[in-house]
Amino acid sequence: MSSTIKKIEKCISKQSKRLNLCDSDFSIDSPEFQLLKQCTHLTELYLGNNDWERLDGLETLTELRHLCLGNSWLESVEGLGGLKKLKRLDLFGNSIQKLRGLESLTGLRELDLSSNNIHRIEGLDKLEALTKLNLSQNRIQETKGLDKLTSLTHLDLRFNKISEIKGLENLAKLKRLDLSDNRILSIRGLESLTALRELNIRSNGIQKIEGLENLKGLRELYLGDNLIQKAEGLETLKKLERLDLSGNRIQKVEGLEQLHALTYLNLDFNKINRLEGLENLRKLEALKVKGEAIVNIEAIDPILNTGQPLDFQHTTSRVLENESTPPHHGSQDINAFFELDCPKLRDEYLRTIAQWPEFSYDRYYWQVVKSFTGEVKRLYMDWLIRNYRERKPLPEESV
């Protein structure tokens, strides 16, 4: 007798409400599955990480509220129509291409379809009770097909191929929206989502902050790794607490003066070397400005004078007399470079370097650094930090 059969028999004898059969290595035609059909009392069933060719046979489990079929090689979701009491359905990590067979699950509140092969949002119109929908890591190109889901509060569309925001106008209850890692060029299309509390549009192609004026209840905004040149269009977001503008092309800190509620501000890896317009941000608890060397650290004194603890992570000001050409590893230039009169690096700066794991994974640069030790290694990393975002190439002999 298999261990899976023993689990199911125990569930039947004790009338357990919850059963976990993940990684049990049985199929829909096996004796285990035939026995599972008798568990009509179940409210939670976990069948993930098994190999399911089809889903017919589960219709007897009419008391189910939560069903997990993640990572199960499914290509279709047909066969679940009889589970009228289902509130949560997990179908992540499958090979689903089309959303057919969910129309009758009108009581569904949470649906996870992440990491599938879905190209188009369709077949969800009747799921009007849905509050949480995860469609991340698919192949979706348009945000159409969601207009009937007016109860949605959480929508995850990250890691798709979306280029334009449209069709979300009716989602008036939406509180959290994730559109990161797409191909979006403009933030336009969110004006009616006044209930939004968290918006993530990291890693797109956005050049200008616009279309956010009506989102006055926004608490968290993530716009890192875009092509933004100015921190503008944020003046009305008076309740904003967390703002991430890292990895953009911003040269000057401006347009943030009215954001008095900010507790977290990330400006890492921009082109900022002076801090300005931060004196009114008295609630700030974390300020990140790594990348360029900051020449006027005293600009944060008004914040420090309030007695508010501040986690200030930045790149300190350093001057190397000849930094136009990087040192050549294995060449005579390396000695001349490190013999320059360089100030001792501050402990705070060294701690900052230690927090940057990307150096240990970027073989292009790390191959040069790994053979150095002590102060030589630190000084070379110092040069890398100031040039890393621009990806200035090292000489071929360096690598």
Q: Helices marked H in the chain — which ranges?
A: 3-14, 31-36, 301-304, 333-338, 347-354, 358-361, 363-369, 374-387
Beta partners for residue 265, in sequence order: 243, 287
Q: Is the separation of the CB atoms in 211 and 186 below 8 Å? A: yes
- 52 contact partners, CB below 8 Å, separation of at least 6: 27, 28, 69, 72, 73, 74
- Give the residue-averaged pLDDT of 227-234: 95
pLDDT of res. 384 = 54
What number of other Cβ atoms are within 10 A of residue 363's Cβ? 10
Least confident of 98-112, 113-127, 199-213, 367-381: 367-381
Opening angle at CA 321, ends 375 and 269, nearest 5 = 70
Residues of the chain with CATH 3.80.10.10: 1-139
Q: Is the separation of the CB atoms in 166 and 144 below 8 Å? A: yes
pLDDT tens-digit readout, 24-47: 888 788 899 999 999 999 999 999
Whole-number percent of the chain with pLDDT over 70: 79
Tell which CATH architecture fits domain 1-139. Answer: Alpha-Beta Horseshoe (3.80)
Q: What does the DSSP 8-state code read for residue 12?
A: H
Least confident of 172-186, 268-282, 379-393: 379-393
Statement: residue 184 has pLDDT above 60 = yes
Q: What is the DSSP string of 25-80?
A: ---TTSHHHHHHTT-TT-SEEE--SS--S--TT-TT-TT-SEEE-TTS--S--TT-
| Confidence band, pLDDT 50/70/90 cuts, at residue 371 | very low
Global pTM reads: 0.79
